[in-house]
Amino acid sequence: MLNPFPELLVYSMFAPFILRLVLGFLYLDLGILNIKKSGNLKLLGLVEVAGAVMLFLGLYTQIAAVLFIVISAVSFYIEYKDEAVLKRDIVFYLLVLAISMSLLFSGAGAYAKDLPL
């Protein structure tokens, strides 16, 4: 089947860029919330903020994606077992996991410091 908008395929490098920014904003927000909380989540918050900055810059994007795959998979499992622990919808963690996996496989996209080999 033919693509209905083949002229838009020229901009395919912007798809990972958009996903990178969205995932960065999500984890920046989650990280700041975890830093403001007291307890053991402060280290997790610092890791999330550092990963979000990496995504914004497009620096080591695949490493940040692997990190967020692990965090979101663990969060997904915790939410699956006990919904009252994290207070987020399980679909949120599934979406974040899917975006992270997409960035792992596709790379950083446009406006990134990472260079595809």
Confidence band of 1 (pLDDT split at 50, 70, 90): confident
**How deeply is 19 buried, as exposed, middle or buried, from its count of CB atoms within 10 A (0-12, 13-18, 19+)?**
buried
Tell me if 59 is assigned to some domain.
yes
Mean pLDDT of 81-108: 88
* pLDDT tens readout for residues 21-77: 999 999 999 999 888 886 667 888 999 999 999 999 999 999 999 999 999 999 888
Is position 4 within any domain?
A: no
- Whether this prediction's pTM lies above 0.85 is answered by yes
Interatomic CA distance for residues 26 and 39, integer angstroms:
21
Structure tokens of 21? 């920014």
Q: Is residue 34 part of a domain?
A: yes
Helix (H) or strand (E) holding 72: helix 61-81
Q: How many Å apart are CA 114 and CA 101, to the nearest integer?
A: 17
Residue 7 lies in a domain: no
Residues spanned by the domain of 71: 14-106
Domain membership flag for residue 94? yes
Number of domains in the chain: 1
